[in-house]
Amino acid sequence: MKVVWLCHFANAEMTALFHTPQVKEMAPWISNLIALFKERKDIDLHIVAPNVFTNKKHYVKLRNVHYHFYQHRLSFIPKKLHSFLRFESNTNFYFVKKRIERIIKNINPEIIHLHGAENPYYAVGILPLLKHFPTFVTIQGFIRNTSIHDRIVNKRILIEEEILKKTVHIGVRTKEMSETVLVINPNAQLHFHNYPLTVPLHKKKSNTVESFDIVFFAKVTKDKGIEDLLEALAIVKKQSPDVSLHIIGATSNSYLRFLQNKIKQLDIEKNVKFLGFMETQQDIYKYAVKARICVLPTYHDIIPGTILESMFMKLPVVAYSTGGIPELNNKGESIVLVQKHSIEELAQKILELLKDENKRNSIAEYAYKILNERFNNSAVVKDILKAYNNVLSVKGKYN
């Protein structure tokens, strides 16, 4: 079966190939999925992706996988000016569509699998191809749920909805995700599959030395709940003056300055440590496992990798009850849930968990058990191939 994946990603292998160490890891679930498919002889896999490394057209074949990288912005316009002019958005991504359409028509696949409708600099390329090839779209997340709205974000929302409305076969992995898709497209045919997880090499053990209290590891943004966590920490400090929070993740310099000012105002400067971006996920896990608990009060999400990875590490989690996160507690308490934006409750639950070692251990062990039952990387390929065959079995309209 000749398959095209339309997606974006960055990993250590590709940064080495293009000699671009400044490019950070991105969309690790795609790299994990490639690892599961790369040795298969029954799949002729072609990955079409924006060249986030050098922004040049490039083709390479590695271990049975064909990589077709395309130029995602015009090279004769400086990057900052290109962004300032909002060139792609203002031209409705015309040049991106044409480049992707040319590559995929030349490949002539049996099916196109779009990974995520929320990133137009590649996702928009599916639109001219819907009538030409069978198409399957897997939801990564929904940009429509963001709390930040401007012209660019609103354009992304419109493109996301256009793709989902025009696509019949859609991949989902939670009940909440399914309900959202059906609101956008009541005629969608849903196919359930997970993305493979990066399994941490480090797990908490009875003799693990816990050198700090709370870890937050995710992109450091308002939507991930970092501001709520800082406010909750200030409340926790009143009862536990030495409470410690270590923050791992990338953010902009301007937002970091904002957070540092907020930390100063909350009088928690001695309680918070910023670690910044870490090169690999395993580096994050090696550090995070030294915490007593993980806290991620994200405003919206499907089921964040931060939570699943913490469960694998036997690291107890406190999170907001949003998106698909509550589904992790369907059979029992595998994570501690808090009502969204309830800062007082967030602080209370953090305190309770920090003070109760038995509860931390019981939640961690149960979470690890549930995760291994529900998320099985070996089943991912089987479920995706089943979806492909179901899409291809439908006669008539391709999409």
Q: How confident is the model at residue 139, as a pLDDT?
A: 95
Burial of residue 179 (CB within 10 Å: 0-12, 13-18, 19+) is exposed
Q: Span 380-395, mean pLDDT?
A: 92
Cα dihedral angle (251, 194, 174, 10), rounded to 10 degrees?
A: 20
Domain layout of the chain by residue ranges: 2-195+377-393, 212-374
- Reported as a pLDDT band with limits 50, 70 and 90, residue 83 is low
Mean pLDDT of the chain: 92
Condensed to tens digits (0 to 9), the pLDDT of residues 142-176 reads 988 887 778 888 888 999 999 999 999 999 999 98
Please give the helix or strand (H or E) that residue 70 lies within, else none.
Answer: strand 65-70
Instruction: State the Cα–Cα distance between residues 318 and 308, nearest whole angstrom.
Output: 12
- pLDDT of residue 117 exceeding 80, the answer is yes
- Reported as a pLDDT band with limits 50, 70 and 90, residue 377 is confident
Q: How confident is the model at residue 145, as a pLDDT?
A: 82
- Reported as a pLDDT band with limits 50, 70 and 90, residue 398 is low
- Residue located via tokens 């990875």: 309
Q: How confident is the model at residue 85, as a pLDDT?
A: 58
- Class for domain 2-195+377-393, per CATH? alpha beta
Q: How confident is the model at residue 395, as a pLDDT?
A: 58
Alpha helices (H) along the chain: 12-17, 28-37, 79-85, 87-90, 94-107, 120-123, 151-166, 175-184, 226-239, 253-265, 281-288, 305-312, 343-355, 357-374, 377-393
Q: What is the DSSP string of 285-345?
A: HHHHTTEEEEEE--SS-SS-HHHHHHHHTT--EEEES-TTGGGGGSSS-SSEEE-TT-HHH
Domains 2-195+377-393 and 212-374 share a fold: yes
Condensed to tens digits (0 to 9), the pLDDT of residues 11-31 reads 999 999 999 999 988 999 999
Helix axes 253-265, 226-239, angle to 10 degrees: 20
The DSSP letter of residue 131 is T
Q: Which amino acid is at 131?
A: K
Q: What is the DSSP string of 144-190?
A: GG-S---HHHHHHHHHHHHHHHH-SEEEE-SHHHHHHHHHH-TTPEE
- pLDDT of residue 84 exceeding 60, the answer is no
Q: Under DSSP, is residue 346 helix (H, G, I), strand (E, B) or coil?
A: helix
For the chain, percent of residues with pLDDT exceeding 90: 77
Residue 170's alpha-carbon distances to 125, 157, 185, 304, in angstroms, are: 17, 17, 10, 19
The set of residues, in sequence order, having a beta carbon less than 8 Å from that of 68 and lying 6+ positions away, is 46, 47, 48, 49, 59, 103, 107
The DSSP letter of residue 195 is P
Q: How confident is the model at residue 336, as a pLDDT?
A: 97
- pLDDT of residue 80 exceeding 70, the answer is no
Instruction: State the Cα–Cα distance between residues 381 and 373, nearest whole angstrom.
Output: 17
* 212-374: in CATH 3.40.140.10: no
